[in-house]
Amino acid sequence: MKHKLVVIILSVVCCPLSALHAQTPVYLDPSKDIEARVEDALKRMTLAEKIDVIHAQSKFSSAGVKRLGMPDFWTDDGPHGVRPDVLWDEWEQAGQTNDSCVAFPALTCLAATWNPDAAKAYGHALGEEALYRGKGMILGPGVNIYRTPLGGRNFEYMGEDPYLTSQIVVPYVQGLQSCGVASCVKHYCLNNDEEYRHQVNVIISDRALHEIYLPGFEAAVKEGKAWGVMGAYNLYKDEHNCHNQYTLNKILKHDWGFDGVLVSDWGGAHDLDQAVKNGLDMEFGTWTDGLTMGATNAYDNYFLSKQYQKAILEGKYTTKELDEKVRRVLRLFFRTTMNKQRPYGFLCSESHYEVAQRVAAEGIVLLQNEGNVLPIKPQGKKILVVGENAIKMMTVGGGSSSLKAQHEISPLQGLQMRLGAPIDYARGYVGDVSGNYNGVSTGQDLKDDRSPEVLIAEAVEKAKTADYVIIFGGLNKSDYQDCEGHDRKTMDLPYNQDKLITAIAAVNKNTIYVNISGNAVSMPWRKQVPAIVQGWFLGSEAGIGLADVLLGKINPSGHLPFTWYENLGQVGAHSFGEAAFPGIWREGKKVIDEEYKEGIYVGYRWTDKHKLKPTFAFGHGLSYTTFKVSNLKALGTVTADGNMTFMVDVTNTGSIEGSDVVQLYITDVKSSVDRPAKELKAFQKVTLKPGETKSVTLKTDKRALSFWDEASENWKAEPGDFIAQAGDASDRLTCKAKFTLK
């Protein structure tokens, strides 16, 4: 009897437990559909908890819902690597000893690889670093279009062409998010220059908006399934892009079906009613009443904080908009911090350095190589390295993308490591000797008080007896160079470099100039310098990537993601006076109107239209071998749904293995609107052994034939003849094929 009684008691006592177990709340049950989890969690949250999750609680974090077991949410910069942790409410780094990261190459270099597989590997490696560091969202990648070579943050973006940008951003987002870390594609939208980024109101045609500036974001959202998008500081149609009825509610969320979170840029929210109604989901960086400077730890003052809660309690708003924001934040939680299927993270693993090194070498662009000076044959030869950019660390500085790298191999170090011998060096010029950003120090002492004349004389003297001179010059990450918050004032090289380069080229016929920058620079001495290389900001493995290309261990295969203009006279944005760049201030100097008068004619679209010959064309990139692109054929006719397939042969006509980027440009022979002479609509990188030929298949869809029709507010492909051209640069198209859209 007693035994039976015990069994009955146990079953009663245990039953609720087992029953309880069977009743795991839906929102905590990973087997349940994410939308069901969202609705279940939403139902359980109080008003205060809903308000908590839609705004920052610290510089880079927002609250979870501890009562329901949802952890706080941590974001971090940036697109090239995971920023060091900062103090709770400061930009200053916290001085941790466990957050030194791999610095991956800048995104302009990634775009220059023209290799979507490289972009996926890049995103995945960055995702593993972010996971290890406990970040649920990386504030990147940036896909703003390179409208002007003066743009301070072009180095963080993917060049001038919307199609190339869309093909590189999608795999990056997929790679990153495969780790359960959200991307936050930025800065949406029309944030194409820096000087007045908080005040500029962009005026632009619908065609230019949809054909040039939105496709990178649209692809990231529709194909990449980005979980986050960051609003831009600037205004469009007189509303800031962090809460903008047209760009956020209509285009991003309604037209594109974006189901993720729209995060403000830091300090980008300026108005409660707009923040509530115009598409903002998570408010970051607002310090007080919408200013970026002001009271610290003022998170309760945020628009989407106590102000919003009070307005709801006073009946000014229902919880309709609030619940929509919270649904998106909960979806973000279930995709990241609450996602139990996430893989493990790793920091500074060999695989990450391998990606950084591979992308660095693959993105380097051989611009010119007269007399095949490159690759260098170092045996028994005296090499002189010149220039501050041969020794200066570039991973510190430049704004929010600044990093605390575990190491950064400089160009000089990389050459010495690969040659196993010391190399003679001359400073050549002195540029930016600082080396500190938000408390991260390079530890370098670059001070040098010698005059420019003395510096140049020393370099020239040494160059006279060297077999090769490699000058590392270009820009750096200081203000008014490649740096957030300001734009360059000129395309010219700073710090007297033109004089230095000209003087050295005059005494040494094997002068090689390597430009380290995220932007094009003027090169008045170009005809006196046989070899020119675009070196980008290459991150931790910079010196290795450069040495491997310069010494021929790796055959360069980078192609320019932007037009290398001769000067600003060749740039659409600079061809219509102040109104087009940087804009005209309104009365009271609170807003500056910047009208994109060049419209869709950005980059090669502009130089084609005006028959201008840039220094180097969009898509240009040489190799240590040679290639032939031939025999382009349009297979059949355009299908009913507008798809078209092409075949083209690429041959390695040289003596060493190499990779080429075959590019396909489409021309609409006759259309009811003005259209560019040609537009990039397909490409593929192909590796070939000497003498090998590969037939490459390239596909286009109806969108590739379409323009944005402003009347119908939709894409439109008009029946008629089209021409496809193929080659390995926009100014090296060697075969064509006609086809017709019925």
Pick the catalytic residue from 265, 487, 608, 728: 265
Give min distance, CB of 166 to ligand GLC, in A. 20
Q: Which is nearer to ligand GLC, 111 or 322 (CB)?
A: 111
Q: Which is nearer to ligand GLC, 152 or 658 (CB)?
A: 152
Cα–Cα distance for residue pair 36/26, rounded to 1 Å: 7
Give CA 380 to chain center in angstroms: 41
Give min distance, CB of 60 to ligand GLC, in A. 7
Annotated active-site residue 265? The verdict is yes
Q: Which is nearer to ligand GLC, 185 or 491 (CB)?
A: 185
Cα–Cα distance for residue pair 167/684, rounded to 1 Å: 11
Q: In the set 132, 146, 266, 604, which binds ligand GLC (CB under 6 A)?
A: 266
Give min distance, CB of 89 to ligand GLC, in A. 13
Q: Which is nearer to ligand GLC, 400 or 730 (CB)?
A: 400
Q: Taking a C-beta distance cutoff of 8 angstroms, is the pair 514, 529 a contact?
A: no
| Residue 60, both tokens | 């880079």
Give min distance, CB of 133 to ligand GLC, in A. 15
Q: Which is nearer to ligand GLC, 244 or 389 (CB)?
A: 244
Give min distance, CB of 589 to ligand GLC, in A. 21
H helices within 347-451, ranges in order? 350-363, 411-419
Site for ligand GLC in 659-678 (CB under 6 A): none
Give me the phi and psi of 384, to 5 degrees please. -115, 130
308, HSE (Cβ side, Cα atoms, 13 Å): 33
Give min distance, CB of 400 to ligand GLC, in A. 4
- Over the window 94 to 113, marking each residue x when it contacts ligand GLC by CB under 6 A and - when it does not, the resulting string is --------------------
Read out DSSP for 91-112? Answer: SSB---SS--B--PPPHHHHHH
Q: Which is nearer to ligand GLC, 278 or 400 (CB)?
A: 400
Cα–Cα distance for residue pair 532/542, rounded to 1 Å: 17
Helix (H, G, I), strand (E, B) or coil at 13: helix
Sign of CA dihedral 402, 359, 154, 702: negative
- Over the window 347 to 386, marking each residue x when it contacts ligand GLC by CB under 6 A and - when it does not, the resulting string is ----------------------------------------
Q: Which is nearer to ligand GLC, 77 or 161 (CB)?
A: 77
Q: Per rule CB under 6 A, is residue 404 in the interface with ligand GLC?
A: no
Q: Which is nearer to ligand GLC, 77 or 432 (CB)?
A: 77
**Region for 362 from its dihedrals, namely left if φ exceeds 0, alpha if ψ lies in -120 to 50, beta otherwise:** alpha
Q: Count the neighbouring beta carbons within 10 Å of the beta carbon of residue 643.
A: 12
Q: Per rule CB under 6 A, is residue 186 in the interface with ligand GLC?
A: yes
First-to-last alpha carbon distance for the chain, in angstroms, is 89
Sign of CA dihedral 5, 7, 8, 10: positive
Give min distance, CB of 227 to ligand GLC, in A. 16
Give min distance, CB of 86 to ligand GLC, in A. 9
Site for ligand GLC in 119-158 (CB under 6 A): 139
Give CA 341 to chain center in angstroms: 28
Give min distance, CB of 79 to ligand GLC, in A. 8
Q: Per rule CB under 6 A, is residue 265 in the interface with ligand GLC?
A: yes
Closest CA to 573 of 155, 192, 237, 199: 192
The residue type of 339 is N
Site residue total, ligand GLC (CB under 6 A): 6
Q: Which is nearer to ligand GLC, 168 or 185 (CB)?
A: 185
Residue 21 vs residues 40, 79, 96: alpha-carbon distances, Å: 17, 42, 41
Give me the phi and psi of 709, to 5 degrees please. -85, 110
Give CA 247 to chain center in angstroms: 20
The side-by-side arrangement of strands in the sheet containing 228-231 is 185-188, 228-231, 261-263
Cα–Cα distance for residue pair 406/408, rounded to 1 Å: 7
Residues in the chain: 742
Q: Which residues bind ligand GLC (CB under 6 A)?
A: 77, 139, 186, 265-266, 400
Q: Which residues are catalytic?
A: 265
